[in-house]
Amino acid sequence: MEWIQQLVNGISLGSIYALIALGYTMVYGIIKLINFAHGDVFMLGAFIGFFAIARWEMNVFLALILAMALCAIIGVIIERVAYKRLRNATRIAALITAIGVSLLIEYTVIFFRGASPAAYPTVFETSNFEILGVKISTQSILILSVSIFLMVLLQFIVHKTKIGKAMRAVSHDADAAKLMGINVDNTISATFAIGSALAGAAGVIFGIYYTRIDPLMGVLPGIKAFIAAVLGGIGIIPGAMVGGLVLGVVETIVSALGYSLWRDAAAFVILILILIIRPSGIFGKNAREKV
Amino acid sequence: MTQKNKMKKYGSLFMATALLTGALAGCNTDEDTSSSGGSGNSASGDVIKIGANLELSGGVASYGSSIGDGAKLAIEEINAAGGIDGKQLELITVDNKSENSEATTAAIRLAEKEQVVAMLAPATSGNALATVEIANKYKVPIVTGSGTAPNVTVNDNGSVNEFAFRTCFIDPFQGTVAANFATKDLGAKNVAIYADNASDYAKGLAASFKETVLANGGTVVAEEAYVAKDVDFKSTLTNIKGKNPDFVFIPGYYEEVGLIVKQARDLGIDVPLMGADGWDSPTLIDLAGAKALNNTYITNHYSSEDPDASIQKFVEAFKGKYKEAPNAFHALGYDSIYFIVDAIKRVDGDITGEAIQKQLAATKDLSLITGTFTVDEFHNPVKSATVLEFVDGKQQFNSKVNP
């Protein structure tokens, strides 16, 4: 029974990684940029949700939607201000800018509210129920269902809507898409908006599930989500979901075997191994890059 | 101008700057040697300056600011009563951001720029330890309110850090008290330990707890560790649950402990949980929730519900100023100032860092809020500990344990 319990623990953790990894992978897919500020958008989402619930006494679902909406706007602003003018610059310039944006967000938040952690208000009375000796809290169920719902919604947007079609086209070949009359700028902005909204949602879910939030909370989950995205094959949306879940479960197994102090190391070993053995990730095709 | 010339120009500019810095640094070193050859900073004029090097922001901001608030109250009381021989006290507070390196910088600033005669050292052992060398070098005694690790005052080779003192008891004592409470009062037999692997404080407590449990005939069924800043403890807790302990000892700080307690209860670990003074923060109740904290205990320095008359007088004065009941850190900050002031009062002649150090070491039967204490040869106070129980999010006085 202990193993089923551990699996439940791993999937809960993994679904949060997956939600963040989606934003990484979408942005990479479309402009080939590792957006290191993504983890900080996740943090902003957690704080927006915190203020919405604790200060303005909003319903959890309204708070979740508010956090998603504001994060979407923040994501678009970041893209327009910091990345747009670098679209034709070297990739390393964009990457360094992303790190700069990340630090700017973190320390702006610290400047205004200090670095001390905040505790998320209790939004549901946690009740546990047992299935086959496994304790599952109502919170885990809710978090899992919200994550799955958002992932399904994303699949729908990408494959069934006009903007999704435009995103796929721009990702495939931006110049050709432009010639076909697709507004590339708006499509890229939409990608940032959707990715950031998912990060915002992950922030609120993280806050509800783990209770503690602080201005630097986005750093490690951000890097873990990046690993998840690479693991699944960066730029591939289902890859990010699978990568997130696999990473969550692997980390849990490492702790369960009694090596809890090696958990973070295990995540980075996965990154190193995947880069050596299969750089294109689980779902990646071994395509050569166009020069 | 060609690229090469430009390089040359910057190169020489760099050299000049380096030389200048070197020269300035040279001056500083001279000053240092002269000050360490003397007897530390001395108080001149009508003001006695006391420094406070505290965690006002960062991970353990709650401890540092509490100690600062307690200290301020003590300073106000003493100044209102006429100060020390007509001299007023001035508290100079510096934020060390809960970081070791910042703590060292803050200590240098207080000793060198502000010329304080004594200072409150940071609240956690790690940060306090980062200021010990500075205290010895500038001959300015430091007093940590809540740095409970033994090596703050005593080096690993057994020599005493002459200028380091503390107002609290040390880790092994808290671990021993917790172990006796678990095995004797609660009748626990199979205990588990889940300690913060990144802190000397937690490791010290875990070691003495284990030793006493084994000495009392108990068994340690699980020994697990976590790293500070972790948020997901469920997998390790599931492991601990599988070993069926009847008591879990969790030495660590409130930031993680709050989450551990919550997740442990979620997974159905209903046995008593216990920790030490690192749990003592209102944030713990926010993080874990009042319900999850039922059936948990901590050892602590004092309780605001202790019926003792002097404690109640302090509680009233504190409530008058800050509109809340003082926690142990408030009490320790308050006591640290009285500990220093008591020593200053006993100084004959010039008030210097060195003179205060001698008197601090000679403190005997000093009656303070967190207990009556005598400083022993290792600069640790010999005093009592209190066991508290969380009931619906409030700490309740359980019992008092003498050394």
pLDDT tens for residues B297-306? 999 888 888 8
Give residue A140's pLDDT band: very low, low, confident or very high (50, 70, 90): confident
Residue A285 belongs to a domain: no
The per-residue pLDDT for A101 is: 95
Residue A205 belongs to a domain: yes
Question: Mean pLDDT across the stretch A108-132?
Answer: 81
Packing angle between helix A2-31 and helix B234-242, nearest 10 degrees?
A: 170
C-beta separation of A164 from A158 below 8 A: yes
Nearest-CA distance A192 → chain B (Å): 27
The per-residue pLDDT for B76 is: 95
Give residue A261's pLDDT band: very low, low, confident or very high (50, 70, 90): confident
Least CB-CB distance to A210: which of B57, B238, B259?
A: B259
Give residue A210's pLDDT band: very low, low, confident or very high (50, 70, 90): confident
The per-residue pLDDT for B27 is: 45
Residues of chain B contacting A112 with CB distance shorter than 8 Å: none
**Best B54, B232, B239, B260 residue to mutate vs chain A (most A CBs within 10 Å):** B232
Could you confirm whether domain B171-300 is CATH 3.40.50.2300? yes
Domain span at residue A94?
14-120+130-219
Exposed/middle/buried for residue B270 (C-beta within 10 Å: 0-12, 13-18, 19+): exposed
The per-residue pLDDT for A258 is: 81
Residue A25 belongs to a domain: yes
Whether B25 has a pLDDT exceeding 50, the answer reads: no
B348 vs B354: CA distance, rounded Å: 12
The per-residue pLDDT for A131 is: 72
**Best A210, A224, A251, A264 residue to mutate vs chain B (most B CBs within 10 Å):** A210
A2 in B contact zone (CB under 8 Å): yes
Dihedral sign computed on CA atoms, order A207, A209, A211, A217: negative
| Helices of type H across chain A | 2-31, 38-50, 60-78, 91-113, 138-160, 162-172, 174-179, 184-210, 219-232, 237-256, 263-277
What are the pLDDT digits (tens) for B275-329?
A: 988 898 888 998 888 888 999 999 988 888 888 888 999 999 999 999 998 988 9
Give residue A146's pLDDT band: very low, low, confident or very high (50, 70, 90): confident
Q: Which of B316, B317, B287, B312 is nearest to B369 (CA)?
A: B312
CA atoms within 13 A on the CB side of B315: 15
The per-residue pLDDT for B24 is: 46
Strand partners of residue B297: B274, B389
What DSSP designation does A120 have? P
User: Searching chain A, which residue's CA lies closest to the CA of residue B283?
Assistant: A119
Residue A188 belongs to a domain: yes
Residue A37 belongs to a domain: yes
What are the pLDDT digits (tens) for B96-119?
A: 988 999 999 999 999 999 999 999
C-beta separation of B191 from B218 below 8 A: yes
A14 vs A5: CA distance, rounded Å: 14
Interface contact B231-A212, CB threshold 8 A: yes
Under CATH, domain B47-169+307-384 is a member of which superfamily? Response regulator (3.40.50.2300)
The per-residue pLDDT for B35 is: 42
CATH 3.40.50.2300 range(s) for chain B read 47-169+307-384, 171-300
- Three-class DSSP labels, B390-402: EECCEEEEEEEEC
What are the pLDDT digits (tens) for B214-273?
A: 999 999 999 999 988 888 898 899 989 989 999 999 999 988 999 999 999 988 899 999
- Three-class DSSP labels, B30-45: HHHHHHHHCCCCECCC
Whether B37 has a pLDDT exceeding 50, the answer reads: no
ipTM, two decimals: 0.81
What are the pLDDT digits (tens) for B111-154?
A: 999 999 999 999 998 999 999 999 999 999 999 998 888 889 99
C-beta separation of B135 from B117 below 8 A: no
The per-residue pLDDT for A1 is: 66
Interface contact A261-B267, CB threshold 8 A: no
Interface contact B266-A126, CB threshold 8 A: yes
Q: How many angstroms separate the Cα of A41 from the Cα of each of A47, A198, A206, A207, B42?
A: 10, 10, 13, 14, 51
Question: Mean pLDDT across the stretch B69-84?
Answer: 94
Give residue A126's pLDDT band: very low, low, confident or very high (50, 70, 90): low
Whether B32 has a pLDDT exceeding 80, the answer reads: no
Whether B26 has a pLDDT exceeding 90, the answer reads: no
**Best A2, A3, A5 residue to mutate vs chain B (most B CBs within 10 Å):** A5
Interface contact A137-B266, CB threshold 8 A: yes
Interface contact A135-B268, CB threshold 8 A: yes
- Four-CA torsion B149, B155, B160, B166, nearest 10 degrees: -20
What are the pLDDT digits (tens) for B49-64?
A: 999 999 998 878 888 9
C-beta separation of B138 from B164 below 8 A: no
Question: Mean pLDDT across the stretch B36-52?
Answer: 78
A181 in B contact zone (CB under 8 Å): no
A9 in B contact zone (CB under 8 Å): yes
The per-residue pLDDT for B12 is: 53
The share of chain B scoring above pLDDT 70, in percent, equals 90
Whether B206 has a pLDDT exceeding 60, the answer reads: yes
Q: How many angstroms separate the Cα of B15 from the Cα of each of B11, B18, B21, B23?
A: 6, 5, 10, 12
Q: Any idea which residue has 């939600």 for tokens?
A: A19
Q: Pick the range with the lowest mean pLDDT from A138-152, B172-186, B374-388.
A: A138-152
β-pairing, B142-144 vs B164-166, is parallel
The tally of domains found in chain A comes to: 1
For chain A, what is the mean pLDDT? 88
The per-residue pLDDT for A287 is: 57
Residue B76's contacts (CB-CB under 8 Å, 6 or more residues apart) are B321
Whether A46 has a pLDDT exceeding 90, the answer reads: yes
